[in-house]
Structure 1
Amino acid sequence: MFLLCVCVCVCAPMVDVTKWPVFSLMGTRQLSTIRKASVFGTSANEAIYVTKDDEVYVFGLNCSNCLGTGDSQSSIVAKKLDFLSGRKVVSLSYGSGPHVLLATADGELFAWGHNGYSQLGNGTTNQGVAPVLVSTNLLNRKVTEVACGSHHSMALTDSGEVYAWGYNNCGQVGSGSTANQPTPRRVSSCLQSKVAVGIACGQTSSLAVVDNGEVYGWGYNGNGQLGLGNNGNQLTPCRIVALQGLCVRQIVSGYAHSLALTDEGLLYTWGANTYGQLGTGNKSNQLSPVQIMTEKERVVEVAACHSAHTSAAKTQSGQVYMWGQCRGQAVALPHLTHFTCTDDVFACFATPAVTWRLLSTEHDDFLTVAQSLKKEFDNPETADLKFCIDGKYIYVHKAVLKIRCEHFRSMFQSHWNEDMKEVIEIDQFSYPVYRSFLEFLYTDNVELPPEDAVGLLDLATSYCESRLKCLCQRIIKRGITGGNAFSLLSAAVRYDAEELEEFCFKFCVNHLTEVTQTAAFWQIDGDLLKDFICRAGRCGAFKN
């Protein structure tokens, strides 16, 4: 039986920035204003953070003007970047050169810092002392993600185009030559007709994953970090054939190694392995992707950054593993930590202790309304109503249900009584499904295995709970496998979940051999089976 349990939360993962030493001089009040943050620098002694009011601050060494303050002065006191005031930061990356790229919610791209190889994309090699808008070849393009190597830069647009510029001695810009690229240039070649959904940079290499799960690499390949089966540099994107048949959803790059996570939660690594950063149990480089953590549960997130030889992964139940260079030691196999997020691995064990992504952080000095509600769910001491499902009771509060759900508001409209104790019997839904629904009304969170999430999707549809319906679909997407894909596709059709239906259909096509060997495929309704075969045929699934 498939028992994978998925937790979906409305909020982004929250991180405690005080685990990074560079923030240790800040007071509690100042720390409480931070919403997003990034730590960089050869000694992890520079930082940029965004407040809850979308103000951008920087502090630290200011090597190569990478703080963007307009002067070359270092500072242990945070300085405000007025030019970026009010702009919502959605992506930020730093190069070890160092230089910084920042993308806003409006799709604008800003750059500053070291520019000896035109990695700022402004057509010059003059150092950028303050943030400057990068516009050449990006006008009318909306940048959604940025990535930096040591001295080259990449940007991903909302239409799936990849742009690269800067140092190109090994082909890391993907232009077909080794000439430096002074302004953003679209990476085309075999990516010309592809829609990219993710990008990553090693020191002098580049990776991109496209919407059908294919991964492409280019640039320096001396350690096999492109995963092509050889160690020859690539001047244009080349598909990683060894990952054929897999649908990759996340890619990350370390200094000279790479990791890929598939839609089934499988983890593959390749490249340099001097510090055990591939997690294979030895220190031999791998020229092609190898699967690791095969005995562990499903992986949902992987982490690495081009400044370090450290790797990390998070599993479905929230366990965090680390391996590679960890405080100077070589850890050759994934080691289970006590951390709750991969960010903490880099704060406490990476050298330097930089961030691998833009952090999302929040500080709570007291119980918020949401936290108080969560605490009171299923509390018989304060409840004034209980549901009985399969002989089990769930204790709730009428007022909360009326406020949070139109279904209950209508139910209690005519006979609301503060002093009345009631028991409501439920027989059309299972206990796990109905409990999860009630808990959602208190917490905005859903924690269920995908099969039960299908039942919750049915409930959400019946009760017209659109937000809950979206969360159910997200759980199902993250828990889909070749074994349950067709059953989930059938459920999506049954409950009129169009987005989920399209996702399940694409997954079935991408894993067609495995899916067609399951009992669910041949036991399904005949009309649905015929429709699937026709659609799959139109997609070219049965071509040789």
Structure 2
Amino acid sequence: MEEELPLFYGEGGKPVQATLSSLKMLDVGKWPIFSLCSEEELQLIRQACVFGSAGNEALYTTVNDEIFVLGTNCSGCLGLGDVQSTIEPRRLDSLSGKKIACLSYGSGPHVVLATTDGEVFTWGHNAYSQLGNGTTNHGLVPCHISTNLSNKQVIEVACGSYHSLVLTSDGEVFAWGYNNSGQVGSGSTANQPIPRRVTGCLQNKMVVNIACGQMCSMAVVDTGEVYVWGYSGNGQLGLGSSGNQPTPCRVAALQGIRVQRVACGYAHTLVLTEEGQVYAWGANSYGQLGTGNKSNQSYPTPVTVEKDRIIEIAACHSAHTSAAKTQGGHVYMWGQCRSQSVILPHLTHFSCTDDVFACFATPAVTWRLLSVEPDDHLTVAESLKREFDNPDTADLKFLVDGKYIYAHKVLLKIRCEHFRSSLEDNEDDIVEMSEFSYPVYRAFLEYLYTDNISLPPEEAVGLLDLATFYRENRLKKLCQQTIKQGICEENAIALLSAAVKYDAQDLEEFCFRFCINHLTVVTQTSGFAEMDHDLLKNFISKASRVGAFKN
């Protein structure tokens, strides 16, 4: 049996440093609550967290370091000073100027946030003093928690269902909140209203990582040992029994194994070793231990994922779901998958563990603070795009309509068969071009740097001519797409003529159908009146065959 505590969902997984796979792109669109935001708003997001009983609350930061919240606002967990729900993102002005280092939340929900300066702020549900401000009043606005933490820099936070942990830069753990099973680690079962340092076996230890299950707590120390305390009704402490533990106790079964990180689900625990091995223990009613069955385990049990080493584990106390990522970039999941049970690690098509919780977990919440870190590194494609028409690095310039376009010989040879031969023995650094207009030729050269074209439809006809001349078939297709998007009654005949001239059969058919569908207006345009005789003859013949002139 899993613990009798009602299943108030809320993410409580530890925050971790963003991995390389999540640096360049933060895709929050997989979480339903963000479908309420506009595309412009989503583009500005740099950190995000989804929480609540149904994934119906969210907090995010923007490129301007502003913090916004939206959702149902249960227990004032949005920190806005009221309990009104909002589908429009509202700025959290009380934290203006603060930068978020890490964030976690409990089932109430309550929120615990640490800034890059090491300060701690809490708000939301507080019936069990889980906000650490000495009261049991719900916190409608963020409260700075300084008691016993005033001279400390907090670097990591974790929340259980109704208790909170923080880790300081000097390796100390402080806890507060609900303590019915000893999850605060004080040695008693009395609730803890303010931060209190967790001592006992941790007194002289340097803690490097913390995590919380619903009603238990975990800490990894710098020697690779794991210490646990709190509720163990499902064996989630890994001590071989189901008895609660009111003070930290070392997981002896991991003797000789150096653990790097720990992650907690609702009632199960995962650890990742230095060698890239995963061990699991605790509740297993959905196969969340990945052992191939649904039997609970009170001792650490190895999880076989694949031969590649594991570099990341993921779980959060709102769910019975587990995930892991390998060094080769493969992401596996097991446990509760919506209404299904997955009892062995299953290879997904995802590239990050976050997507497992967005798409498979119940509720769809984030297991950590999603983050995009500033990254000035440019990909090869981005670097080439930046160098187009750059006189500082170019070794070739085209003179078109009296204006220069700057390029690089080696890139043109690589990207275009025409230039490979025409520039082979050409030592000139200026090439005059009179066959095509400046906008058309510039668009062609830019395409060689970017794989895209940026021209209005009427100019794209000229580029279609160039693409035909240079036998650039992909460019020819792009031109046809651009022309299709810009067709109208006034230019339909001109575009049809161009399609015939440049043997663009797909475009010709498209333009013809457009003319037939708008025949009355098209036949009244100047383009139709000035139509080439042979083209007009063919057009009328083809139109007749499709019944365009029938009453």
Tell me the TM-score normalized by structure 1: 0.66
Q: Distance in 2 between matches of 1:358 and 1:234?
A: 29
2:366 maps to 1:371: no
Amino acid at match of 1:311: S
Instruction: Note the alpha carbon deviations across 1:437-464, whole angstroms, 9 max, x for none.
Output: xxxxxxxxxxxxxxxxxxxxxxxxxxxx
Q: SS in structure 1 opposite 2:332?
A: strand
Partner of 1:251, secondary structure, is strand
1:78-227 to structure 2, matched below 5 A, reads 78-227=89-238
Task: Give the alignment of 1:33-52 within 5 angstroms.
Answer: 33-52=44-63
Q: Deviations over 1:231-281 (max 9, x none)?
A: 110000000011111111111000000000011100000000000000000
Q: Is the 8 A contact 1:15 1:343 kept in 2?
A: no
Cα distance, 1:16–1:253 mapped onto 2, change above 3 Å: same
For residues 373-423 of structure 1, the C-alpha deviation after alignment (integer angstroms, 9 at most, x for no partner) is 56759xxxx9999xxxxxxxxxxx999xxxxxxxxxxxxxxxxx998xxxx
Cα separation, 1, equivalents of 2:264 and 2:288: 11
CA distance in 2, matches of 1:262, 1:274: 25
The answer for the alignment partner of 2:253 in structure 1 is 242
* Partner SS for 2:253: helix
Assess, with a 3 A threshold, how the Cα gap between structure 1 residues 36 and 120 changes in structure 2: closer, same or farther.
same
* CA gap 1:10/1:205 in 2 versus in 1, 3 angstroms: closer
Matching residue's letter, 1:306: H
Deviating more after overlay: 23-32 vs 174-183: 23-32
Q: Check if 1:320 corresponds to 2:345.
A: no
Counterparts of 1:345 and 1:278, CA distance in 2 = 16
1:29 aligned to 2:31? Answer: no
> Given residue 148 of structure 1, which amino acid in structure 2 is its aligned partner?
C
Look up the SS of the partner of 2:379 in the other structure: helix
Say whether 1:302 aligns with 2:302: no
Unpaired segments ≥5 residues, structure 1: 1-7, 386-396, 400-416, 420-544
Q: Cα 1:289–1:106, aligned 2, differ >3 Å: closer, same or farther?
A: same
* 2:66–2:91 contact (8 Å) kept in structure 1: yes
Aligned equivalents of 2:428 and 2:48: distance in 1?
Answer: 47
**1:257 alignment counterpart:** 268
Kindly indicate whether the alpha-carbon contact (under 8 Å) linking 1:313 and 1:322 is maintained by their aligned counterparts in 2. yes
1:334 is displaced (CA, Å) by: 0.5
2:144 alignment partner AA: L
Change in 2 beyond 3 A, CA 1:92/1:302: same
Number of corresponding residues: 379
What one-letter code is carried by the residue in structure 2 that aligns with 1:370? L
Q: Secondary structure at the match of 2:229?
A: strand
- The letter of the residue matching 2:368 is R
Question: Which AA in structure 1 matches 2:89?
Answer: A
Long gaps (5+) in structure 2: 1-18, 396-407, 411-426, 430-551
Work out whether residues 14 and 360 of structure 1, in 8 Å CA contact, stay in contact via their aligned partners in 2: no
Q: 1:349 to 1:123 in 2, by over 3 A?
A: same
Letter in 2 for 1:244: Q
Please give the alpha-carbon distance, in whole angstroms, between the structure 2 residues aligned to 1:249 and 1:292: 16
Counterpart AA for 2:52: G
- Higher Rg of the two aligned structures: 2
Could you tell me which amino acid in structure 1 is paired with residue 338 of structure 2? R
* 1:64 to partner: Cα distance: 0.5
Alpha-carbon distance between aligned partners in 1 of 2:151 and 2:306, rounded to the nearest angstrom: 47
| Percent of paired sites with the same residue | 65
Q: Tell me, yes or no, if the aligned pair for 2:281 and 2:289 is still in contact at 8 Å.
A: yes
* Contact 2:22 2:352 (C-alpha < 8 Å) held by counterparts: no
Structure 1 residue 224 displacement after superposition: 0.4
Separation in 1 of the partners of 2:173 and 2:161? 18
2:22 touches 2:371 (CA, 8 Å); kept in 1? no
Give secondary structure in 2 for the equivalent of 1:58: strand
- Following TM superposition, the consecutive aligned residue runs of length 4 or more in structure 1 with deviations greater than 6 angstroms are 382-385
Amino acid at match of 2:51: F
CA distance in 1, matches of 2:112, 2:317: 15
- CA distance in 1: counterparts of 2:340 and 2:151, whole angstroms: 47
**C-alpha distance 372-295 of structure 1, shift in aligned 2 (>3 A):** closer
| More displaced stretch, 8-17 vs 204-213 | 8-17
- Distance in 2 between the 1:227 and 1:248 partners? 14
Rate the CA distance shift 1:156–1:362 in 2: closer, same or farther, 3 A.
Answer: closer
Q: Distance in 2 between matches of 1:281 and 1:64?
A: 39
Following TM superposition, by how much is the alpha carbon of 1:200 offset from its aligned partner in structure 2, in angstroms?
A: 0.2
Q: Retained in 1: the 8 A contact 2:22–2:372?
A: no
Q: Quick one: distance in 2 between partners of 1:285 and 1:60? A: 36
Relative distance call for 1:339 and 1:9 in structure 2 (3 A) is closer
Partner of 2:304: 293
> Does structure 1 conserve the Cα–Cα contact (< 8 Å) formed by 2:60 and 2:67?
yes
Are the counterparts in 2 of residues 16 and 362 from structure 1 also a CA contact under 8 Å?
A: no
Quote the offset at 1:361 in angstroms: 4.2
Distance 2:428 2:37 in 1: 48
Map of 1:64 onto structure 2: 75
Q: Is the Cα contact below 8 Å between 1:32 and 1:362 reproduced in 2?
A: no
Q: CA deviation at 1:13?
A: 6.5
Over 3 Å counting, the alpha-carbon distance change for 1:190 and 1:236 in structure 2 is same
Cα distance in structure 2, aligned partners of 1:202 and 1:13: 30
The CA distance in 2 between the partners of 1:228 and 1:418, in whole Å, is 78
Judging changes above 3 Å, is the alpha-carbon distance between structure 1 residues 190 and 369 closer, same or farther for their aligned structure 2 residues? closer
Give the CA deviation at 1:42: 0.6
Aligned-residue offset at 1:289 = 0.5
- Aligned to 1:31, the other structure's residue is in SS state helix
> What amino acid maps onto 1:144 in structure 2?
I
C-alpha contact 1:32 1:363 (8 A) present in aligned 2: no
> Normalization by structure 2: what TM-score?
0.66
Task: Report how far residue 10 of structure 1 moved.
Answer: 10
1:179 to 1:370, Cα distance in 2 relative to 1, 3 A: same
